[in-house]
Amino acid sequence: MNTNFDVIVVGGGHAGIEAAHAAAKMGSKTLLLSLDLDKIGLMPCNPSIGGVGKGHMVFEISALGGLMPKLCSQTYLQARMLNTSKGPAVQGLRLQIDKEAYRQLSKKMLLDVPNLTLAKGKVEEILTQNSVITGVKTQDATYSAPCVVLTTGTFLNGLVHVGFVNHAAGRRGEEAVTTLSQILIDLGLKMGRLKTGTPPRLKKDSLDFSKMEMQDQQELNYLYEFYPQKVEQKLPCYITHTNENTHNIIMENMHHSPILTGNIKGKPPRYCPSIEDKIKRFPDKTGHHVFVEPEDASYDEVYPAGVSTSMPLEVQIKFIQSIPGFENAIITKAGYAVEYDFVYPNQLLHTLETKKVSGLFLAGQINGTTGYEEAAGQGIIAGINASLKAAQKLAFIISREESYIGIMIDDLVTLGVEEPYRMFTSRAERRIVLRQDNVFYRLADKAYALGMIESKLYEDIKKEDAQIQEVLTRLRSKKTNGDLIKLFGELECNQEKILELAGVELTERAILSIYAEVKYFDYLKRETLEIEKAQKYRMLIIPKDFDFKNMPGLSKELQEKLLLHAPENIAQAMLIQGMTPAAISLLIFRVRELEKQLSYRKETACQQLR
């Protein structure tokens, strides 16, 4: 094999797949190195993709020409649109995936990508000259390239815990990478330690599904790709709950939990905690949801989402069998926690290239994120930019104003992380604009200019977008926006009425997009004004003794973040993840109000002196 490449991607997880696919698709001669080529695209935790916020990113990966949406279309077991009782801006598509089919198809599709070579290898050295990447060295070969993308997942000094027994591993049954962290430190990068985990797997035939609630099937005509599909519900999913007995068993065994006794040093995810952490943090809650989901089409094992744990196996058996439907459950694989090294992401540019080493890009959990979708979103951006840099072209920056992927990257590189980062719609200042229904119209021009999508797809997207704009213009010329929303449906989209008023054939996505543009019209105007106001007062100084904690109208989470980061002015406050235009507007109002009070006091004091 020729050992000279334009881009080398290290790691075959979801970030590595997207990085390698993107770089090769853009014409770069690309090498993907993996410890095990048969584990490319493996789903070691929850075999699902999407959800609220996360699903938005998968749609953006689709709009940018990525691979994950195509893999999902061919390997899903169940498809659900979450938050359907709410507006289109905060709905999220979530697919239960056949993880074996996904893994096999990932490798197959990558093998068919022109310009892409797959090879087994463990990187032992990152080659540089004057802080510029020149390649990598494995135990078997030396490969040269001007750009390297590291997507190492949980493998950097990975340590798996079940109770107080631990061993070096990147995932269950896979060796850890023990030398790369020190190499990165020697290159000048600051590193930390994080933790994630997974629940035990249960033998399907040992469960009593009659005691569980079956999730209703949904009628869907689209998945993550632009063109419609015949969506089938292939396997059911169920819901059960923990109870007071479950919680008592866990409470009685808290002294056996490595995360709660300090044996695990890595910071755990706040928004996806272990069951023992949830029970400790929410002692008044008498039950937690457990989502019982198939892992693959054979349906031999189920994944009980919501009971991630690192308790000893004997404790896992006790609390699992206290859950309705799990009374005779057989644990086929114990739940475990894994802690691993990561690079503080504020050492990266918005291209995901490191500031210290030219040509070195990082994507996925190495940057402190958690989740397949977050990893894939970083992977596609890192792969695009590695290809552009190798070709000596201008970088591609995707902003937080135009995408959830942009929000994630901006959060990571601007603020860094202290705990595993997860995407939510609440992190988006402009979530009314960044919807699933308009994602292709938003990003098609960029994707086409990069060479990431084909001409036919681009033309069809532009045609549908133009049709939407024409219908909106025509309808608004006849009726006010208030009249239109009453006709379209104030609480949910009346598709038949929109079609009738439009007078032309429209796709289901186009109908939803027209509905959203009308429904959110006043909100969009107000949001635009709030953003303009924030820009005007960017340099407004926030007093050092400003009381964020007791500020009415701000969520506790935002109060905590403001206290933590202590922004000196409005511009710095705007960078804090989750700060909405409304929150910034409220902060500006409060600071200016205090300024006026202080000015009044000074003026009064001066008058008294005179």
CATH of residue 254: 2.40.30.260
Q: What is the pLDDT of residue 599?
A: 75
Rounded to an integer, what distance in angstroms lies between the CA atom of residue 109 and that of residue 279?
Answer: 42
Q: What is the pLDDT of residue 600?
A: 64
Q: Are residues 369 and 412 in the same domain?
A: yes
Q: What is the pLDDT of residue 537?
A: 85
Q: Is the dihedral of CA 371, 374, 380, 382 positive or negative?
A: negative
Cβ atoms of residues 310 and 231 within 8 Å: no
Q: Are residues 493 and 548 in the same domain?
A: no
Q: What is the pLDDT of residue 430?
A: 83
Is it the case that residue 50 has pLDDT exceeding 70? Answer: yes
Q: Are residues 237 and 300 in the same domain?
A: yes
Q: What is the pLDDT of residue 395?
A: 97
Q: Which residues contact 184 (CB under 8 A, 6 or more apart)?
A: 126, 191, 343
Is it the case that residue 610 has pLDDT exceeding 70? Answer: no
| Domain hosting residue 288, numbered range | 201-338
Q: Are residues 36 and 119 in the same domain?
A: yes
| Residue after which a domain boundary falls, among 476, 502, 519 | 519
Q: Are residues 491 and 535 in the same domain?
A: no
Cβ atoms of residues 322 and 246 within 8 Å: yes
What average pLDDT does the structure give for the chain? 92
Q: Are residues 145 and 252 in the same domain?
A: no
CATH of residue 98: 3.50.50.60
pLDDT digits (tens, 9 = 90+) for 16-28: 999 999 999 999 9
| Residue after which a domain boundary falls, among 501, 519, 537 | 519
Residue 2 covered by a domain: no
CB atoms within 10 A of CB 477: 7
Q: What is the mean pLDDT of residues 229-243?
A: 93
> pLDDT band for position 345 (50/70/90)?
very high
Is it the case that residue 560 has pLDDT exceeding 90? Answer: no
Whole-model pTM: value is 0.90
Q: Are residues 268 and 401 in the same domain?
A: no
CA distances from 291 to 64, 98, 135, 603 (A): 31, 16, 44, 63
The answer to which of 283-287, 333-337, 512-516, 578-582 has the lowest mean pLDDT is 578-582
Is it the case that residue 605 has pLDDT exceeding 80? Answer: no
Q: What is the pLDDT of residue 576?
A: 79
pLDDT digits (tens, 9 = 90+) for 490-543: 888 999 999 999 999 999 999 999 999 999 998 888 877 877 777 788 889 999
Tokens of 600: 């009044």
Q: Are residues 30 and 167 in the same domain?
A: yes
> pLDDT band for position 142 (50/70/90)?
very high
Q: What is the pLDDT of residue 22?
A: 98
Bridge partners (DSSP) listed for residue 331:
202
Q: Are residues 84 and 181 in the same domain?
A: yes
Q: Are residues 209 and 180 in the same domain?
A: no
Q: CA torsion, points 47, 52, 56, 58, in degrees to nearest 10?
A: 0
Rounded to an integer, what distance in angstroms lies between the CA atom of residue 37 and that of residue 104?
Answer: 10
pLDDT digits (tens, 9 = 90+) for 474-505: 999 999 888 998 999 888 899 999 999 999 99
Residue 447 covered by a domain: no
Q: Are residues 575 and 498 in the same domain?
A: no
Q: Are residues 278 and 146 in the same domain?
A: no
Is it the case that residue 435 has pLDDT exceeding 90? Answer: yes
Q: What is the mean pLDDT of residues 594-601?
A: 78
The answer to which of 251-260, 387-396, 523-532 has the lowest mean pLDDT is 523-532
Is it the case that residue 337 has pLDDT exceeding 70? Answer: yes
Specify the higher pLDDT residue, 207 or 481.
Answer: 207
Residue 328 covered by a domain: yes
CA distances from 67 to 96, 148, 390 (A): 17, 20, 21
Residue 505 covered by a domain: yes
Q: What is the mean pLDDT of residues 154-175?
A: 91
Q: What is the mean pLDDT of residues 336-362?
A: 97
Residue 441 covered by a domain: no
Tokens of 321: 């069998």
Residue 438 covered by a domain: no
Residue 594 covered by a domain: yes
Write out the E strands in 5-120. Answer: 7-10, 30-34, 48-50, 76-82, 92-97, 116-120
DSSP code at position 161: E
pLDDT digits (tens, 9 = 90+) for 88-113: 999 999 999 999 999 999 999 999 99
Tokens of 382: 């890192």
Query: How many structural domains are present in the chain?
Result: 4
Residue 282, SS3 per DSSP? coil
Burial letters 412-431, b for 16+ CB under 10 A, else e? bbbbbbeebbbbbbbbbbbb
> pLDDT band for position 415 (50/70/90)?
confident
Q: What is the mean pLDDT of residues 268-292?
A: 89
> pLDDT band for position 582 (50/70/90)?
confident
Q: What is the mean pLDDT of residues 35-60?
A: 95
Residue 585 covered by a domain: yes
| Residue after which a domain boundary falls, among 338, 367, 388 | 338
